[in-house]
Amino acid sequence: MRIKLINPNTTQRMTAAMGQCARAVVASGTEVVAVSPTMGPPSIEGYYDEALATPGLLAEVEAGEREGFDGYVIACFGDPGLYAARELARGPVIGIAEAAMHAASVLAPGFSVVTTLSRTKAMAWHLAERYGMTRFCRNVRAIDVAVLELDEPGSAARRAIVEECRRALDEDGADAIVLGCAGMTSLCAQVEDALGVPVVDGVTAAVKWVEALVSLRLVTGKRGDFARPLTKRYDGEFARFSPTAAASVTETPPPVRPLRYG
Ligand code: 5HY
């Protein structure tokens, strides 16, 4: 199977790191292709960044449909464009916040999220509410390190994450941690070793969830909200995003056994 992992920001080194972490956990028969849009913000640190990252993200999903990908990961903790992506995709589309929160919710009675900037904490709470995770989410904390500083040589990010996680375990009643940024994926093992509790990275959790769903031949339901967008012509610079009936698959996808349902 082929999974497209989309980093909605345009920072290629983050994309490469995510792809490496994802490929380390998938089964031998699963190919992970990690991409970034060619347009948009280099990092997503608020609602405006997220809004302007979404068109490029959706263009990558539509391209993935033409290329015959079986499923998608939206590799940004805000899960930008998740429901719009599900309208475009035949296969499953999973956001990393969604995956990480659900995984943590079955590993511990409660988890805390540790993310980058304080200004994005409300976004994580909104996602917890949307996903029905508020009964498990004990707190959302931030280290106030910019997304693109996480992997800088000599960055204090790892220490800051571990210290904030310790406060979460001591003060929030959390028994597990959700890493609140795709840029933290490479630090997950080190943080878990330091803490001795489950630390969930959404990038790897999401790619394994997509892999599991595709292996079960489960696809996105197209009868309701996630049906293809209605065909119409968009104006101006967005004309190229005009929804069409269906993406024409230019690469013959591997034979898929009949769907389990219509
Ligand atoms: C992310 N921003 O995962 C989010 C993190 C955040 O560029 N990739 C980004 O702080 O929301």
Each residue's pLDDT tens digit, 19-62: 999 999 999 999 999 999 999 999 999 999 999 999 999 999 99
Indicate whether 139 and 77 sit together in one domain: no
- Let me know if residue 260 belongs to a domain: no
- Let me know if residue 258 belongs to a domain: no
Going by CA atoms, what residue is nearest to atom 8 of ligand 1? Answer: 76
Dump pLDDT digits (tens) for 214-225: 999 999 999 999
Number of domains in the chain: 2
Going by CA atoms, what residue is nearest to atom 10 of ligand 1? Answer: 116
Q: Is 60 exceeded by the pLDDT of residue 249?
A: no
78 lines ligand 1 (CB under 6 A): yes
Residue 181 sits in a domain whose CATH number is 3.40.50.12500
Its domain, for residue 193, covers: 97-201
Q: Which of 14, 215, 15 is nearest to 4 (CA)?
A: 15
Going by CA atoms, what residue is nearest to atom 1 of ligand 1? Answer: 76
7 lines ligand 1 (CB under 6 A): no
Q: Name the DSSP letter for residue 256.
A: -
Mean local confidence (pLDDT), 82-99 = 98
Indicate whether 131 and 79 sit together in one domain: no
Dump pLDDT digits (tens) for 139-154: 999 999 999 999 888 7
- Let me know if residue 107 belongs to a domain: yes
Q: Please give the mean pLDDT across all residues of the chain.
A: 94
- pTM for the model: 0.94
- Let me know if residue 126 belongs to a domain: yes
- Let me know if residue 256 belongs to a domain: no
**Under a CB-based contact definition with an 8 Å cutoff, are residues 7 and 182 in contact?**
yes
Indicate whether 25 and 44 sit together in one domain: yes
181 lines ligand 1 (CB under 6 A): yes
Indicate whether 65 and 13 sit together in one domain: yes
**Under a CB-based contact definition with an 8 Å cutoff, are residues 232 and 242 in contact?**
yes
Dump pLDDT digits (tens) for 123-140: 999 999 999 999 999 999
76 lines ligand 1 (CB under 6 A): yes
> Distance, CA 77 to ligand 1 centroid (Å)?
5
Q: Which structure tokens are listed for 191?
A: 């943080």
Indicate whether 111 and 88 sit together in one domain: no
56 lines ligand 1 (CB under 6 A): no
- 109 phi and psi angles, rounded to 5 deg: -65, -25
Q: Which of 5, 21, 12, 23 is nearest to 188 (CA)?
A: 21
